[in-house]
Structure 1
Amino acid sequence: RPDGTRNPLQTVPLLDAITTGRYDAVFGGGRRDEEKARAKERVFSLRDEFGAWDPRRQRPELWSLYNGRHAPGEHVRVFPLSNWTELDVWQYIAREGIALPEIYYAHEREVFARNGMWLTAGDWGGPKDTETVEKRLIRYRTVGDMSCTGAVDSDATTLDAVIAEIAASRLTERGATRADDKMSEAAMEDRKREGYF
């Protein structure tokens, strides 16, 4: 959907699948440095019978002890990387020699500016008549729906250059590249309360 409003389209199928499968736990890849609301989340994040998240119901996880207990209909979302940062992930990729698609490295691409991000043209609704397409050297810090996932200006064409760029950056991955997080100060927290991952 245009303008980064795809989350409602993802939440309903997610909650339907959890209910139908009667899952006790669902794994996700969220990290605390991605967005402010994620910093309130725990490794085991309790969700109510509607899939909603309430930060006040999050249990302490002292000494890495996790409590997966939940009532019928409730479940936990498990975020094993929640204590990692984007830099930790990239350093792990380097240490383990993991190959990645070129989209994560700087490359020349036709993009247009919208709400402070570089987006790629597509059938989803961009560019608008007032938006100019230009060729830029960019890379994607995250990969997602092209209607709300932006690229960043970058000349980081190697793994070491990406790590150096991230180490120097003061802007989070989601804050730099996700339109759905720019909709309001509490956008992510609001979506999580509605059942979003």
Structure 2
Amino acid sequence: MALDLVPALDAPHLLAPPVAAALGVLPPEIARSIRIAPIDPTLADTAAFCAAYDIRLADSANCIVVAGKRGDRVTYAACVVLATTRADVNGVVRRLLDARRASFAPMDDAVAMTGMEYGGITPLGLPADWRILVDSRVQAVGSAIIGAGIRGAKVALPGSTLCALPGVDVIEGLASD
């Protein structure tokens, strides 16, 4: 199968509502560089998606929701890393969130707080008070493939554009091989 990418601005029905809203307020030059394609929602998980659509893992990015805890305070953040790497949740992320413990947020919490489907969470349209931490290696990807907020679509955008999205902090060493 091949991805049938179209401008995301022309296909808002393929975006979760908070993602569509975020796309609508981006500077026009950034919004125009974002494309979207419908996919089989049963193939939304990275490995299955890449195999079915002949996408290299190195061109696919994952957005994970992390909860950092210090006492009674819980801080949420999103981490974007290439599919060939793993976010250093217990080291780099924990320190960046000033947390004693950090872990993947429970699925139900991540879905409820983002308004997105699990397996489709993306850095576009996340809650305004969340940090968006992006591994520096994402910048070099010509066309990074990431979730669209729903399991039935994927977004493609230059890694440099992803790293320039509002609220993004590009972090050297956020992920390891």
TM-score of the superposition, structure 1-length normalised? 0.27
TM-score of the superposition, structure 2-length normalised? 0.28
